[in-house]
Structure 1
Amino acid sequence: MLQIGKFNSLKVIKQVPFGFYLDGGDDGEVLLPTKFADEACKVGDTCQVFVYHDSDSRLIATTQTPLAQVDECAFLKVVSVNNVGAFLDWGIDKDILVPYSEQDFPMAEGVSYVVFVYFDDETGRVAASTRLRDFLFEEGKNFDPKQEVDLLICGRSDMGYKAVINGSHLGLIFKDEVFKPLRIGQRTKGFIKRVREDNKIDLCFQFHDDGARNDLAEQIIDDLEAHGGISTLTDKSSAQEISKRFNVSKNVYKKALGALYKQKRILLDKSKVTLIK
């Protein structure tokens, strides 16, 4: 069965002056324009192609790779807005439409947004939506605390940042869990902090338990040994410097230094940290 808005393996059944026709099964023939066909392409070959409708509702195949297929999220830029909605650069020759009914707020030309790409059963076309909650799960019963996940930062709120989890769920990163700059559209790794009683998902970038603190303490010792036993990264250093070096918040770093100082493994002053050998 032909999957519109996704990659398909289709057989070449006919060659014409402007390209090749591929076998789309019950959906009929699919045109692969010459500019997208391999030079050695011939009748009988099987091609791996992405299938979509052109502006005249014809089925078109391309070897271009879109920035997202159906049922995926992506960070796409608006290239134009008209009376039917906003058109986004999809990474292929044809732009993708976000109808006004699928916009949480008016979209502006030149601005990028996180959208979900879907197949519209009513129109038979591929479209996109900023209404992520209509397509993604907000309850995470199958996630485990401390599970590493892929995140796509998709929005801000008074409480923190919203993120798409593994392309299928939505979760929240609270403000006090953010120790490095985040931007909408950024892809990053994170962790499931907890699944709340209402099954909503809280996310984080680090843990504050004894195991995490011990791991950080050993990283600090390793870093000191690699730099001759002295580091200028103290508890007075900026949060940005600390995050860049150890990918943790300043508060977590200070606690790890404090623990090492109590264990008499380091000396601390305002300008440096010194390893006690």
Structure 2
Amino acid sequence: MISIGTYHVLTIDRERLPGIYLTNEDGDEVLLPNKYVPETFEVGGSIKVFTYLDHMERIVATTLEPFATVNSFAFLKCAAVSEIGAFLDWGLEKHLFVPFKEQANQMKVGRSYLVYVYLDEKTERLVGSSKTNRFLSNKLVLLSSYEEVDLIASHPSDKGWNMIINQKYLGLVYDDEIFQKINVGDRMKGFVKKVRSDNKIDLTLQRHGYRSIEPNADLIIRMLKAEGGFLALNDKSSPEKIKDILQLSKKNFKKAIGTLYKQRLIKIEPDGISLVE
């Protein structure tokens, strides 16, 4: 069976008027319409395609790359709203349908929303949902402290930012760990700070302890070179000023300049730091 909402590498079986027919190892076939057929192809060769339902509810293949696949999250713009729900642009000709019951807040044309793409078992259609938390579970967390993870910014809270972790879990980056502007849907790397006894996950965007020194020191060197060899920052500078200029905490800044000073790469002066010539 050729499932929808995902990529397949299929064999080019034959060419016909509407396009080329592709088959898998079990003999299941799908049409790749002419508008997606590459200029050069060879019967018997293979091709990577994405499969979904077209406007006639038929399974078809495309060489276009959607912004999301089934069972994944994406930040998509609302292209239209009808009496049955919203339709989001996900990079294909047929928009992704989001029923009203799957909208955390009523969607409006032109605005973008974080949604989860899944297969509706009742209709056998791909749909989206902005009620993203119900597709995440911290019941069994297979993560460890200091582990690097992929994050998607879900929504802010009074404590920080809720993050989707590895498309599976929900975690939190506290405000005092954030040194950059974050928007819903932003993707970034992060690190597990702690998995609590109740399976809540604390995150950080900085490497832990001495692991953070090397990249932070490199950042400072690059900033120094860009600013002509001098930065008006030192260990007496306010945390706010350091965060504004370098997007670092004062603690990590002090560790980094300490490392650079010991390596005799910088001088620490009363009004800032400078590169050693």
Do both proteins adopt the same fold according to a TM-score greater than 0.5, normalized to the shorter chain? yes
Q: How has the CA–CA distance of structure 1 residues 231 and 41 changed in structure 2, closer, same or farther, with 3 Å as cutoff?
A: closer
Report the counterpart of residue 196 of structure 1 in structure 2: 196
**Following TM superposition, by how much is the alpha carbon of 1:39 offset from its aligned partner in structure 2, in angstroms?**
2.8
Percent identity, aligned pairs only?
38
Report the counterpart of residue 173 of structure 2 in structure 1: 173
**Following TM superposition, by how much is the alpha carbon of 1:154 offset from its aligned partner in structure 2, in angstroms?**
1.7
> Structure 1 residues 221-230 or 64-73, which shifts more?
221-230
Report the counterpart of residue 239 of structure 1 in structure 2: 243
**Following TM superposition, by how much is the alpha carbon of 1:228 offset from its aligned partner in structure 2, in angstroms?**
8.9
What is the distance in 1 between the residues matched to 2:219 and 2:31?
59
Q: How has the CA–CA distance of structure 1 residues 31 and 192 changed in structure 2, closer, same or farther, with 3 Å as cutoff?
A: same
Instruction: Deviation per CA, 1:25-66: give whole Å up to 9, x if none.
Output: 989652211010123346544332111111221111101111
Q: How has the CA–CA distance of structure 1 residues 4 and 272 changed in structure 2, closer, same or farther, with 3 Å as cutoff?
A: same
Q: How has the CA–CA distance of structure 1 residues 45 and 208 changed in structure 2, closer, same or farther, with 3 Å as cutoff?
A: closer
Instruction: Deviation per CA, 1:124-181: give whole Å up to 9, x if none.
Output: 1111111222222234631111111111112112221111112222211111211111
> Structure 1 residues 14-23 or 99-108, which shifts more?
14-23
1:124 corresponds to which letter in structure 2?
E
User: What is the TM-score of this pair, normalised by structure 2?
Assistant: 0.82
Unaligned runs of 5+ in 2: none
Report the counterpart of residue 4 of structure 2 in structure 1: 4
2:149 corresponds to which letter in structure 1?
V
Report the counterpart of residue 154 of structure 2 in structure 1: 154
**Following TM superposition, by how much is the alpha carbon of 1:272 offset from its aligned partner in structure 2, in angstroms?**
2.0
Report the counterpart of residue 183 of structure 2 in structure 1: 183
Q: How has the CA–CA distance of structure 1 residues 77 and 232 changed in structure 2, closer, same or farther, with 3 Å as cutoff?
A: same
Q: Retained in 1: the 8 A contact 2:2–2:28?
A: no
Q: Retained in 1: the 8 A contact 2:141–2:169?
A: no
What's the RMSD between the two structures over aligned residues? 3.5
Instruction: Deviation per CA, 1:171-215: give whole Å up to 9, x if none.
Output: 111112111111111111111111111001111112674x35865
Residue aligned with 2:35, SS: helix
Residue aligned with 1:119, SS: strand
**Following TM superposition, by how much is the alpha carbon of 1:274 offset from its aligned partner in structure 2, in angstroms?**
5.5
Q: How has the CA–CA distance of structure 1 residues 80 and 36 changed in structure 2, closer, same or farther, with 3 Å as cutoff?
A: same
User: Mapping of 1:250-265 within 5 angstroms?
Assistant: 250=250, 252-253=252-253
Q: Retained in 2: the 8 A contact 1:221–1:275?
A: no
Q: Retained in 2: the 8 A contact 1:7–1:49?
A: yes
Q: How has the CA–CA distance of structure 1 residues 170 and 217 changed in structure 2, closer, same or farther, with 3 Å as cutoff?
A: closer
1:20 corresponds to which letter in structure 2?
I
> Structure 1 residues 83-92 or 140-149, which shifts more?
140-149
Q: How has the CA–CA distance of structure 1 residues 275 and 7 changed in structure 2, closer, same or farther, with 3 Å as cutoff?
A: closer
Pair 1:75 & 2:79 matched: no
Q: Retained in 2: the 8 A contact 1:139–1:200?
A: no
Q: Retained in 1: the 8 A contact 2:213–2:252?
A: no
Instruction: Deviation per CA, 1:218-262: give whole Å up to 9, x if none.
Output: 65996799789753233154522122xxxx22454357669999x
Q: Retained in 1: the 8 A contact 2:119–2:127?
A: yes
How many residue pairs get matched?
Answer: 270
User: Mapping of 1:92-241 within 5 angstroms?
Assistant: 92-139=92-139, 141-206=141-206, 209=209, 211=210, 230-234=230-234, 235-236=237-238, 237-241=241-245
